[in-house]
Amino acid sequence: MGWWQVGADTLASSRFVVSPLAEAVASLLLLERATAAHPGERAWLETHLPAYRRRAAGDPVSALLIRSALAPRWTADFLTPAPVPA
């Protein structure tokens, strides 16, 4: 977590967005690790993990790509590009 100290004018002109692609990558990372980081993720993981494992078993090339792109301390940049300014 970071600490940002900005003035009121800067904050007023700021934009914060949620990237649907980054959320999808975070979901893949959770499915690949197969361990809930907090209690709120448990129900989602229990619901979706069996289907994810079936899909990965049926498509080993995609499963390998996902495992390679979602390293423990690094995520491939092409999976979560920076948003294009509007």
Question: Does 28 reside within a domain?
Answer: no
Number of structural domains the chain divides into? 1
C-alpha to C-alpha distance for 65 and 53, rounded to whole angstroms = 14
**Segments forming the whole domain that contains residue 48:** 38-74
pLDDT band at 78 (very low <50, low <70, confident <90, very high): confident
pTM of the shown model: 0.70
Residue 62 lies in a domain: yes
Residue 21 within a domain: no
Report if residue 29 sits inside a domain.
no
Residue 57 belongs to some domain of the structure:
yes
Would you say 75 and 29 are in contact if contact means Cβ atoms under 8 Å apart? yes
With 80 as the cut, is the pLDDT of residue 85 above it? no
Is there a domain that residue 65 lies in?
yes
Is 60 a member of any domain? yes
Q: With a cut of 80, say whether residue 72 has pLDDT above it.
A: no
